[in-house]
Amino acid sequence: MSTRSSTPGRQRGLSRRRIVALAHEIIAREGVEALSMRRLAREVGTTPMALYHHVRDKDELLALVMEAVAEDLPRPPLPEDPRERLVAVCELMREAFLQHPWVVAILARGRLVGPSAVWMTEEILGSLVACGMTVEEAFTAHRTIWNFTAGDVMVTAALRTEPEDRSPTHFVESQVARQGAETLPHLGALVGRSRELEARYTYRAGLEQVLDGVLPRR
């Protein structure tokens, strides 16, 4: 990592590291949509085209930022019990995504998770096998757990950034008001409580239920 610069002197020229670090900073402060090659160039003090000498295109830059984020992820000791370990890794994974919600959008566009994050996949597969599954079953179970987690992150991130500013009354209430409680009896029964119930929902509880369905019966 620090092979040639023993002096703490600021590295003035461009470099992949500096570009990726600043890109990360912009994204962290203002979201992915705020990152543009031109803006990044301005902030780093060059022309847009200088950047293209260090990264192939914007897509590669985003992948590099993702990888940098994954490298900094904490890797605390995990519980011995396989199911507890499973839950712990999944919660770490969800936490990581919620701290960097833009990653989900990139993953959704077909990117694959980078080398620095595979240990999570390995850990999940390992825990599933330790719960009594074959590797093949574990592969399938992993996909189900990942689907659930990705969806939860998507929904939770959306709820956080959009504090009802376009629907002052909540979804349930406005739909029931529009269509009447006769056609929507069950939604109707939730009027007034949906917000509270939604706030009470936890990833952990949902995950436990998913695991109840996925893991072999004890």
Partner DNA sequence: ACCTGAACACCGTTCAAGT
Sign of the Cα pseudo-torsion (198, 201, 202, 203, in order): negative
d(CA 56, CA 76) in angstroms, rounded, equals: 35
Contact 66, 73 (CB under 8 A): no
Q: CB under 5 to 8 A by kind: which of DNA, a second copy, none does 171 bind?
A: a second copy
- Residue 41: half-sphere exposure toward Cβ, Cα within 13 Å: 14
Residue among 103 and 128 whose Cβ is closer to DNA = 103
Residue labelled with tokens 């461009």: 14
Q: How many CB atoms lie within 10 A of CB 58?
A: 15
Does 53 bind DNA (CB under 7 A)? Our answer is yes
Closest residue by Cα to residue 194 from 176, 179, 214, 210? 176
Q: Applying CB under 8 A, does 150 fall inside the site for a second copy? A: yes
Q: Which of 30, 31, 59, 132 lies at the binding interface for DNA (CB under 7 A)?
A: 59
Rounded to whole angstroms, the Cα distance separating 112 from 95 reads 19
Distance from the first to the final alpha carbon of the chain: 47
Q: Does 108 bind a second copy (CB under 8 A)?
A: yes
Nearer Cβ to a second copy (11/171): 171
- Judged by beta carbon, residue 60 or residue 164, the one nearer DNA is 60
Contact between 54 and DNA per CB under 7 A: yes
Examine residue 111 and tell whether it contacts DNA (CB under 7 A): no
Partner in contact with 122, chosen from a second copy, DNA, none, beta carbon below 5 to 8 Å by kind: a second copy
Q: Which of residues 165-194 bind DNA (CB under 7 A)?
A: none
37 binds DNA (CB under 7 A): yes
Does 192 bind a second copy (CB under 8 A)? Our answer is no
The DSSP result for 137-178, as a single string, is: HHHHHHHHHHHHHHHHHHHHHHHHH--SSS-SS-HHHHHHHH
Name the segment binding DNA (CB under 7 A); options: 33-41, 140-148, 161-169, 192-200. 33-41
User: Residue 49 binds which one of a second copy, DNA, none, with CB within 5 to 8 A depending on kind?
Assistant: DNA
Q: Which of 36, 47, 99, 183 binds a second copy (CB under 8 A)?
A: 183
Q: Which residues bind DNA (CB under 7 A)?
A: 13-14, 35-39, 46-50, 52-54, 57-59
